[in-house]
Chain A
Amino acid sequence: MSWKAWSVGSPVTVAAALVCGCGTIRPANQDLSRATVAHETSLPTVGALVIRLVQSAAHNGKFVFKATGIEPGILDGLQKITTTREKWSEAFAIYVDDKSVFQQDEVPAVIGAYRVSRDGLIFEPEFPLEPGLRYRAVCVPSRLSALADEPRTVARLSSQGTSTVETKFHIPARSTVPTAVVEHVYPETSLLPENQLKFYIHFSAPMSRGHSYENVHLVDASGREIDFPFLQLGEELWNPDGTRFTLFFDPGRVKRGLQPREEIGPVLEQGKAYTLIIDQRWRDATGSPLRRTYRKEFRAGPPDYDPPRASSWSVQTPFAGTQGSLIVDFPEPLDHALLQRLLTVKDPHGQQINGRLETRADDKRWVFTPLKPWKLGTHQLVAQTVLEDLAGNSLGRPFEVDIFEKVDRQLEIRTVSLPFEVRPKKPGKR
């Protein structure tokens, strides 16, 4: 097993008297480290109880706290016992130690696992240490002796009147140089229906969650912030890798007839201009803010209560034997995220074709380029009916349902197919 002893952080002064396991008094003030980066130090001499932060090869390179200089008899005893985490922590414990962060005097010990090695007692925190935070390691030799059932040592240590070894560590803060940016906000069009349902905000890097709604603002043409325009959910709607945030408008103010809209009106009003502001203070997953604030300016157009109809789409077909693109144009922008997964292409045998996908023209155009040349014959463009436009109307069904229609239809995954013919390439055409 290899150990790398590591002291980290800015110089930290330990005010308390430090007592070694053998009873030797060390200087009251100990400068743990003058370096802000890791450096190796030699292992302590046997007999001097010292707590260090070490990087352990046995723990996948994780940092663990290690108390060395414990008398061999006590270590032998500790190796034989089985006890609870709570009992261990009475003898050797790590605490977060930052009065600027914690407003209470007493905080519980950091949780983790204890292990006895041939030359010391190891505490492995359950979670990685937090950059920028201070920790305090406390070891009580007499309690270690008691745990190890070493009455002679306990008596000797007690007679010396003081019994605590305390060492502080400061973990260097992460660099907070801003690197992440907002790459896109969909829809990209600058004219949105008055009953626009949502935005997708795409970031260049994984973002932090928990305070997202504090960082999005909607202002009108005069710069006045609109109150409560968005649906705020504790869960926050992220994609799995944390790079896309879904922001719904408050549906109570989008739908007709609901109390919020009746009382305070819709969020967007036809003919007015707005700016969506994504604050630079939004933190990425490493804690750094964005490089800059992002603004999306748009106008509200007429509300859209009509479901999109596949029959109104125009399709430009490629030629057989080529890898030309299939181009589908919609009369209105469709939902950017749903366009990525709800349209598929099938060959004349009904097999799904693999290919590369792009959306263009503010999501009014869908371009599909196959990985292999097109076959001759009738193909199908298949759309799932849950595909939505910007106002949440889906294929064949408006966002708001007229109550004079029945709503007891079976909920099935349904599709709409548009056949298109792939013809032979004419001579001379590319």
Chain B
Amino acid sequence: MNSVVRSAGVGLLTLALCNISVQAASLAASLKDKGPQLKSAGPLTFGPEGILFVGDTADAAIYALATDDQTPAPANATLKVERINEKIAAALGTTPQQIMINDLAVNPISHKAYLAVTRGQGPDAKPVLVRVGSGDKLDVWPLDNVRFSRAALPDAPAATAAPAAGNRQQNSRKDSITDLAYVGDRLLVAGLSNEEFSSSLRSIPFPFQTVNKGTSAEIYHGAHGRFETRSPIRTFVPFDIADEKHLLAAYTCTPLVSFPISALKPGTHLKGNTIAELGNRNQPLDMIAYRKDGKDFILLANNSRGVMKITTENIDKSDPIVAPVPDGNKKGLTYETIAEWKGVEQLDQLDKDHALVIRSKGNGALDLEALVLP
């Protein structure tokens, strides 16, 4: 979902994208295996040449899939599929209660939407990828003949290579992949463990060379008074600040933090700057960056505080928050809540003027809908 690098500088976006496409000339050809056996489908993001990256938590791996969906087509700015969860459930022969839509990504070439879906709720649940074209027609993507490559994530990065002492129970540790972004020539993968509380952010060069080549960094977010903390990243988006590529990361404990991607080095502690506080009783869900009227904005969907439009005008000048903020709305980057965008659970950029969202309409119904960027 987070594949577009936005520039806060002037006119750099086009240059950045051209650069990527030149580098990417032979990327799709690197996907040589056929018929990926996904065990789950979580976060999605597009790379160049219509390559779709899928975070597979159950398999502790990232899959790069050749969609071969490279025919340019305009986006359908009026796209709306009402009750898309019911339609997907029907196509998969089950009830909407047995369906989870985990992520949404728009192919920036064809403007087709790809949805990561889980069918079933138990440990034997099956992953499904669903495509939505410019009409409202759904298509379950058969993966049997799809070319792919796979990068395995180390399942227990904090554990020693040796197995635990002896006759132990099954290793219950698992990293959940919380977000993906393709930046330049690499994939960034944020993860969260179901045991130790730590943040892992891996940078995996693409094409995938060998497994476990990714590097990880342990991230602290900015200091508040005297203390700072490790914390897992929930969602992030690449963003250029003063001509340098940064990640803007929303943490599970709600600060919005920036740090330069160049600082992502193997096995390091990385410290980010807190640039906004997003409020209590709230979890960030998904994030995109876009440009409107010559200015750059971040759009952040939250579980209880709606969709926030965050201005980035002074992002390169603003001082990081270094002290507790009694009234977070007044410190750091400013944001407004977009009242009309209620119930947004998934979010991606459709084209330069529109976003594609999955939003809850009550009664369990979810709509896929194109919305004009605010």
Contact = CB atoms under 8 A, between A and B. Distances in A.
Interface of A: 94-96, 98, 101-104, 107-112, 125-127, 129-130, 133, 135, 197-198, 206-210, 227-228, 231-235, 237-242, 244, 246, 248, 250-253, 255-264, 283-286, 335, 337-338, 340-345, 352-357, 368, 370-371, 384, 386, 388, 392, 394, 399-404, 407-413, 415
A231 to B, nearest CB: 6
A400 B229 contact: yes
Contacts, number: 279
B245 to A, nearest CB: 21
B167 to A, nearest CB: 5
B91 A110 contact: yes
- Indicate the member of B119, B194, B277, B303 with the most A CB atoms within 10 Å: B194
Nearest to B268: A411
Given A104-B86, A410-B267, A411-B267, A255 B92 contact: no
A257 B195 contact: no
Contacts of B285: 234
Given A242-B122, A355-B165, A400 B90 contact: no
B294 interface: no
Nearest to A415: B160
Chain B contact surface mostly: loop
B269 A258 contact: no
17 contacts: A98-B95, A107-B91, A235-B57, A240-B123, A246-B195, A248-B197, A251-B253, A255-B253, A256-B225, A259-B328, A284-B122, A340-B168, A371-B167, A386-B159, A399-B230, A401-B228, A408-B269
Interface in B332-356: none
Contacts of A384: 158-160
Interface residues of B, number: 92
Closest 3 CB pairs of A and B: A285-B122, A257-B224, A354-B166
B96 interface: yes
Given A262-B325, A388-B196, A412 B121 contact: no
Interface in B175-224: 176-178, 192, 194-198, 216-218, 220, 223-224
A259 B174 contact: no
B345 to A, nearest CB: 8
Nearest to B281: A228
A125 B172 contact: no
A262 B324 contact: yes
Contacts of A284: 122
Nearest to A104: B83
A237 B195 CA distance: 9
B365 A260 contact: no
Nearest to B218: A411
Interface of B: 42, 57-58, 82-83, 86-87, 89-96, 98, 100, 102, 118-119, 121-126, 138, 140, 156, 158-160, 162-174, 176-178, 192, 194-198, 216-218, 220, 223-231, 234, 252-255, 267-269, 271, 277-283, 285, 303-304, 324-326, 328, 363, 365
Nearest to A209: B121
B324 A107 contact: no
A239 B174 CA distance: 6
Contacts of B96: 101-102
B283 A233 contact: yes
Contacts of B252: 231, 233, 248, 251-252
A107 B194 contact: no
A343 to B, nearest CB: 7
Nearest to A98: B95
Given A260-B280, A353-B166, A235 B197 contact: no
Contact of A344 (B83, B86, B160, B167): B160
A401 B229 contact: yes
Contacts of A338: 195-196
B280 A263 contact: yes
A422 to B, nearest CB: 15
A129 B166 contact: no
Contact of A96 (B93, B138, B217, B269): B93
A158 to B, nearest CB: 28
- Indicate the member of B93, B98, B224, B303 with the most A CB atoms within 10 Å: B93
B281 A251 contact: no
A209 B196 contact: no
B123 A403 contact: no
A206 B167 CA distance: 22
Contacts of A239: 170, 172-174, 194
Contacts of B326: 262-263
B257 to A, nearest CB: 12
B224 to A, nearest CB: 3
